[in-house]
Structure 1
């Protein structure tokens, strides 16, 4: 396990070290939730075009429940695992670029989990109708997830684990929606 943690720290330092202060505002914007509101409105439009209003409301409720579960699970893991964020790790702080920081614990990334939940869920529900959509959604999820590493608030394994949890939850919820429909 120590070897894996060392590799995770090395990868963080490499990826975080690729940054430049002139790009920091861009990555802070990418990680921010308000920046993506127009994107969410476009996704809502695609949902509206694809499903009748009653089904759309049902799907939106499932999205809200899925993201809530994804987010709350991340909070439980953060406290339970108690792995310090890179920006709170005294051994790493001197070696890395500190752009921003969050609470003390970072395992696992709720940003990655929530984004991959939404990407997976919408891809499974609408990917056959809008074939380009899964590519856009997973690119978006990866971009937001990478921003967390760039900014130094999550280790790569925090992000990978969060993305995996979100994607797995998306499969469960998409299958529930299909069965209930």
Structure 2
């Protein structure tokens, strides 16, 4: 069964990485996955939180950063070293056809830390800002989804790496949000 899943994973990777290729995505997707591209969003988020939630803002930011630290630590330092799955550029089968739009990283592939981090932060935001997140859920999870999709498109990860990272990130974000909400009652406008 694992062999069938990996074969399907490689096929889906080939379809996204090669068949969906176009000049617009080729130019745009490498930027989407770059953390510096999102600095204005992070600054807006900080300003929004400190402006609207003064009394809990610092705690929220600390929990948000803790969510990021946990997702990154667990994905990069624990799971990747346990699974040791090669990236598409180092995979004996996929490397023959992969289109690399970024330099090949020879670190391990499963799970995608980009997906884990961003879905973790998205879930934390959704659950800790329920007053606002129902209206903006598509934006928060769309942000994580487009970054994760870019990982496949640029050739950095297989779809299963992204799916696994997304699920792991949502689990971690869910848990940190539960702790934050229990301690601080979630964010409410002051």
Fold match (TM-score > 0.5): yes
The match for 1:138 among 133, 137, 141 is: 141
> 2:111 aligns to what SS in structure 1?
coil
Match of 1:125 among 125, 128, 150: 128
The corresponding residue for 1:59 is: 60
* Match runs of 1:89-100 below 5 Å: 89-100=91-102
CA offset at residue 150 of structure 1? 0.2
CA distance in 1, matches of 2:39, 2:118: 13
Task: Select 1:166's aligned residue among 169, 173, 183.
Answer: 169
CA offset at residue 88 of structure 1?
1.2
Runs of 5+ unmatched residues, structure 1 = none
Q: Equivalent residue for 1:149?
A: 152
Q: Quick one: distance in 2 between partners of 1:70 and 1:130?
A: 21
The total of aligned residue pairs comes to 180
| Aligned structure 1 segments of 4 or more residues deviating by more than 4 angstroms | none
Residue 13 in structure 1 maps to residue 29 in structure 2: no
CA distance in 1, matches of 2:163, 2:99: 21
Confirm or deny: 8 A CA contact 2:122 2:144 kept in the other structure.
yes
The alpha carbon displacement at 1:21 in A equals 4.9
User: What is the rounded CA distance, in whole Å, between the counterparts of 1:9 and 1:111 in structure 2?
Assistant: 19
**Aligned equivalent of 2:187:** none
Distance 1:176 1:128 in 2: 17
CA distance in 2 between counterparts of 1:124 and 1:134 reads 10
Shift of 1:103: 2.9
In structure 1, how many angstroms separate the alpha carbons of the residues matched to 2:23 and 2:75?
A: 29
Q: 1 CA distance for matches of 2:154 and 2:41? A: 22
- 2:86 counterpart of 1:84: yes
CA RMSD of aligned residues (A): 1.4
Query: Given the two structures, how large is their TM-score scaled by the length of structure 2?
Result: 0.89
What do the CA deviations read for 1:63-105 (whole angstroms, capped 9, x no partner)?
A: 1111111101111211110100001113212222122222331
Q: What is the Cα deviation at residue 22 of structure 1?
A: 5.1
Whole-Å separation in 1 of the counterparts to 2:36 and 2:182: 33
TM-score (norm: length of structure 1)? 0.93
Paired residue secondary structure (2:131): coil
Question: Residue in 2 aligned with 1:178?
Answer: 181
